[in-house]
Chains A and B, each alone.
Chain A
């Protein structure tokens, strides 16, 4: 009997550069790690561009295949996540486009124009690390609502959220906005980012009050 190869070998190192080198060499353990770590990003992108659960699985597989074929083109190992995000984003749009042949092209073009830059992706990945910490600072109501809206795997509808949280459906939207504002401020202090700009409406209101 031939011994089966172990796919969970200890890898040579864990720095970004070493990890990408292992990926380029086709190291199975490195690709297992890639699929787990970058898989979150890929699946989040799938939700971002409006794919359903089975389409996101297809997106995951297609993105990993493309990444495997083209890992040699990645110049900066530190940008692995943003590189994967870009592949997933464009692949996701193609999947969404395929779902609606001949229709929704304007929506697809809008999505394509909104693809974040590599630096923006890295910033968002970094910010995501602080989200749970930020949610601890926004109070129970906001934490529960934002968790239902964005962190639940089953992606409940407003109707379901209303039932779960005993919150009127009509108040979910406005409450969401207030809670995201609170989270925005909490993340500013957690991530060390400057206080965020106000909207034009807020500036106009302030100007009215002062005049």
Chain B
């Protein structure tokens, strides 16, 4: 039960690399890390989740909160490298329809 979050700021793009499990225990760590991202107009963000082995609904809550924040400032959130299990989670919850998601098999956006 561990998580690693690395945030890299490039010009107008924030890249996040998340690895490990996102559950009720580790979600607060992810929330804290994402909270360090300075919100500003038209912010582009990309979260690489290819090393995330498990995520439950608490983790989903953190991602949604981040998405809502960035969106409120006309920014954009893209999630990449989702495993089939994670992809299913986003599809079932309907979030796949409103978020920019790329799966692990380098398929197109949805």
* Bind each other: no
